[in-house]
Each structure stands twice: as structure tokens, then as C-alpha cells.
Structure 1
Amino acid sequence: MEKKTRRPARGTRKRDVPLSEAGIYSAALRLIDADGVEALTMRKLATELDANPMSLYHHVANKEAVTRGVTRMVGAQFRTATPEDAPWQERLRLLAADLRSLAHRHPKLMAYSFSRQPDFLHSDDPFWIALTESVEAAGVPRPEVSKTAALLAAVVIGVLAAELNGSLRRWSALTPGRPDGRADGAGDAAPESADGAPDGPDLDHMFRLMTDTLITGLENRPAGEGVGRDAGL
């Protein structure tokens, strides 16, 4: 009887393609998209790559380094096709919409990055570069551009984080209060019914409303007024 060749255990057989940082980040992104950052481990990542767990450490230091690398890889995918001669208002709308699209493509990663990675944005990030250019085009003095852009980014990212974790949907269902402390109407809608309508709140409309509100604030900003202590904030 012919002796059968035993197949090596998964994670121990030789890989046809050498490990690389890019390959590790791509595999990690697949796992994060499926189960979230918290469920990611170096052992699971090695299994996904069909590699020995110890071999990963020749390319990445630890899980934190992996998540940061994945975040930068996804952030580099941000590409807005905003014409340079378009009005700054339209450029800001497209920037915000593109960031939202990216967040919806990788919601688990982006929710984690928004709340756990303060350096999610950096000076050479495509979104940040385009945002500061748009803010400067709005007439904000150059010394105030970064602070103004930081405030805009904080609002947009805050709204996206609330949308991804479900808070925005829940908050939009709350019944307006009254000065006497009583709820106006029959009370808050049930959590599962969002705003009481079968389909819940129109989050697309709410995001556009947020963007338009930010743009209106910049449009009505007094000429020459800074952002921060000198402006009375």
C-alpha cells in the first residue's frame, strides 16, 4: 500500500510569496473588516498569511504597529477628484463625502482609528492636504489655517464616529425636551425604531446638513478674524 504524504499543518508549510509589510497590512485589513480590531491577534494574522507567527516580527513590531500600518494604508486610498478651480465650498463638500465613503468601506477600522489613534491624520495625509488647501481658499489667514482645519476635521470625524457606532441614529430619535423638564410628546422612540419611522433617520441628509452648517460658518466668518484665544474663543 502506497504511503500517503502528510500535509504540513497550516502556518508551517512554505509560502510561495515572501512576507512583506504590504501583504501583512492587506491581510490584517481583511481580518479587521470581518471581525474588528479587537479580535485581531498576531497568531490569527499569521494563520491568514499561512506563515509562522514569529516570522511576522521580522516585518512588524507588534499588533499596534500593524493597526497603524493598516490605517496609513487605508488613508492613502483617500483620493478626491475635486477640481482645483472648483469653489472652496464644493471642495469641502466633496472632501467630507469622500471621507465618509472611506469610513463606510472599512467601518470597523475607521471607528477604531477615529477614537483610538490621535495621529490618524498627519501632515502628508491626502485628506489633510486637501482640507488645508480648501480652508486657505476660503480666505482664512495662513497662520490660522491649521487650527481652522483641525476644528473642521474634528467635527466631521466626530459625526462619522457617532454614525459608525450608532449614536447618531439613537440621538436623532430622542424627543425634544421642554423647559419644564418634561418630554415633548409621547416620549422617546423605541431604540429599535430609530426616529419612529420604519427606515430610521436619513443619515445622508444629516451628514449633508452638518457639512453645509460648517460651510455657512466659514462663509459668515468676519474677514480677518482668527481662530482661538485672539478671536475671543
Structure 2
Amino acid sequence: MVDADGIQALSMRKLAALLGVNPMSLYHHVTNKAAVVDGITRLVTEGARHIAVGPGTWQEQLTRLAYEFRALSLAHPHLMRHAFADDDFIQRRGPMWQSLCVVLRSAGLPDPEVEQTGAVLAVMVGGLLLTEVNGTMQRLIGTGEADDAGFALAVSLLVDGIEARLGA
């Protein structure tokens, strides 16, 4: 329901109807709509558990990780728009964060910089993905493959930036 119509279309009554239960019975499991949305978000992000650092250079691994995050966002655009607006959309115990830190360490970043750099990258990529799922990227760059081109350019710039920082 959320993937199809967005968070605003979700209601306890509609969810109960979809599940074929009495709306009041939902409250035995969750306190309100916000709890349902939180649960859905956790379920979706738990689906990212398969994401792990694979073979290749740190640049290839970072690029692959960014594209995995993108795929998750594009698969659930309404939910991700909501999640990106949350203060705590970066889950430090989540698979994306853990993989990101492994990649940044393998790149040679000193430990004190890994979490700071990871946070900045996560926020930048999250912001970029928000502009993609809400249509801003396409409006700014144009139609067609604008999102793909814009995302590829952004990831390339991020990798170049880390390379430059490591070289400095």
C-alpha cells in the first residue's frame, strides 16, 4: 500500500481492510500509524542485510554500495522519502553503515575519519536519492536517463573526493 500510494494513503482502517481484520485488532500489535510506518521501514531496511562488501577495489566497493542503496530507495520511493526526512535515517548498526565503514577503512582512511566521512557520504547520497525519488533530479537535469546520469556523476565525484583526500 505504501509503495503504491505513499505514506499519506496509509490508514489503520485501510490496512485492516487489506488484511481482512477489524481495525481495532491492529492496536493489539501497534500503537498507531507511526508505529506501523516505523515497522515497515525496519522491515525494508532489514531487507538490506544481504549487502556486504564484495571483491574489487575500495572505489568499486563504494560505488557498488551506493548503487545498492539506490536500488533499495527506488524499490520503495514513498517509504524512503519519509525515511530520509527522519532525523535518524542513518542506522549505525545497519548493514549499509557497517559496509560503508569497512570500505572506508580499506581505502586507507584513518579510524578517526571513518565515521565522520561515512556520515557525510551517507547524508550526501541520501540527499541525492531523495531528489531522485521526489523527482527533483529529473526536473533539474531533464528527462530520460537524467537520474542515472546524475547519480553516476555524483558517485564518481564522491569517489574522486575521497581519492583526493587520501592523496593530500
Calculate the TM-score normalised by the size of structure 1.
Answer: 0.67
Following the alignment from structure 2 to structure 1, what is the Cα–Cα distance between the partners of residues 32 and 57? 44
The higher-RCO structure (CA 8 Å, 6+ apart) is: 2
1:104 aligned partner: 74
Counterparts of 1:56-205 in structure 2, within 5 Å, are 56-78=26-48, 79-80=50-51, 82-83=53-54, 85-115=55-85, 117-172=86-141, 194=142, 199-205=143-149
> 1:201 Cα shift?
4.8
| Richer in helix (by share) | 2
Give unpaired runs (5+ residues) of structure 1.
1-30, 173-193, 226-233
2:4 aligned partner: 34
Which stretch has the larger CA shift, 65-74 or 138-147?
A: 138-147
2:162 aligned partner: 218
1:15 aligned partner: none
In 1, are the aligned partners of 2:108 and 2:166 still within 8 Å (CA)?
Answer: no
Following the alignment from structure 1 to structure 2, what is the Cα–Cα distance between the partners of residues 222 and 119? 29
1:13 aligned partner: none
2:51 partner letter? T
1:113 partner letter? A
Following the alignment from structure 2 to structure 1, what is the Cα–Cα distance between the partners of residues 152 and 139? 18
| Identical-pair percentage | 44
Instruction: Name the Cα RMSD after superposition.
Output: 1.6
Following the alignment from structure 1 to structure 2, what is the Cα–Cα distance between the partners of residues 216 and 82? 19
The partner residue of 1:46 within 12, 16, 32 is 16
> Considering only CA atoms, is the larger Rg found in Structure 1 or Structure 2?
1
Calculate the TM-score normalised by the size of structure 2.
Answer: 0.92
Following the alignment from structure 1 to structure 2, what is the Cα–Cα distance between the partners of residues 168 and 46? 36
In 1, are the aligned partners of 2:52 and 2:95 still within 8 Å (CA)?
Answer: no
- Paired residues, number: 167
Give unpaired runs (5+ residues) of structure 2.
none
Following the alignment from structure 1 to structure 2, what is the Cα–Cα distance between the partners of residues 149 and 82? 15
> 1:124 Cα shift?
1.6
